[in-house]
Amino acid sequence: MVNKDKIQNAVKNILEAIQEDTLREGLVDTPKRVAKMYAEIFSGLAMNPAEELEVMFSEEFKEMIMVKDINFYSMCEHHLLPFFGKAHVIYIPQHNKITGISKLARVVEIYARRPQLQERLTNQVADLLQERLDPRGVMVVIEAEHLCMSMRGVAKPGTTVVTTALRGIYAADSAAQTSAYALLNR
């Protein structure tokens, strides 16, 4: 559970440290608002994404299943600034094990609602699907813009970072990769 009182005190200290008047009308409730927001955007810390994959169905399907354009946002753990974009999740089932397509989006969301690195997020989604579904292969592609790169430092808004995680047949077979990328880029 998020400690909102600690967050409120920390935000007040930050405002004071940048020489702001914490009693100014626009800032009086800012510590409360930030604490409430952090409880929401870091809610994935209190959730277990593996629970989303407990619902499985037995279906004889041996081809690719792809959920494209899963919008997400997360917070860069280095600067606590947002990064946001789209995740694409692909797997090829085996042993007649499939899961609901909404479950794939929920797994992305739970992992994204934590202080995060895009590279870790990509691997976490792929590893969990590989572990829980035991598919022939998993491919996760995430495209995101990082405000820590857009707003500060190099200051290049609109720059997209793309990460991939390949498991099973996608890691071993370039033809399988090519097929998945072709569908992804339609």
Q: What does the pLDDT look like over 93-109, one tens digit per residue?
A: 999 999 999 999 999 99
**31 and 113 inside one domain:** no
For 9-21, write each residue's pLDDT tens digit.
999 999 999 999 9
**37 and 63 inside one domain:** no
CA distance 99 to 43: 23
**37 and 60 inside one domain:** no
**Residue 49 located in a structural domain:** no
Specify whether 79 is catalytic.
yes
- For β-strands 115-116 and 65-76, DSSP reports them as parallel
Query: Could you say which of 16, 51, 77, 119 is catalytic?
Result: 77
For 167-184, write each residue's pLDDT tens digit.
999 999 999 999 999 999
**173 and 148 inside one domain:** yes
Specify whether 146 is catalytic.
yes
Specify whether 95 is catalytic.
no
pTM above 0.85, yes or no: yes
**Residue 156 located in a structural domain:** yes
**Residue 84 located in a structural domain:** yes
**142 and 112 inside one domain:** yes
CATH number of the domain bearing residue 85: 3.30.1130.10
Specify whether 60 is catalytic.
no
Domain that holds residue 21: 4-41
Specify whether 119 is catalytic.
no
**Residue 66 located in a structural domain:** yes
**Residue 121 located in a structural domain:** yes
**Residue 153 located in a structural domain:** yes
**Residue 46 located in a structural domain:** no
**177 and 98 inside one domain:** yes
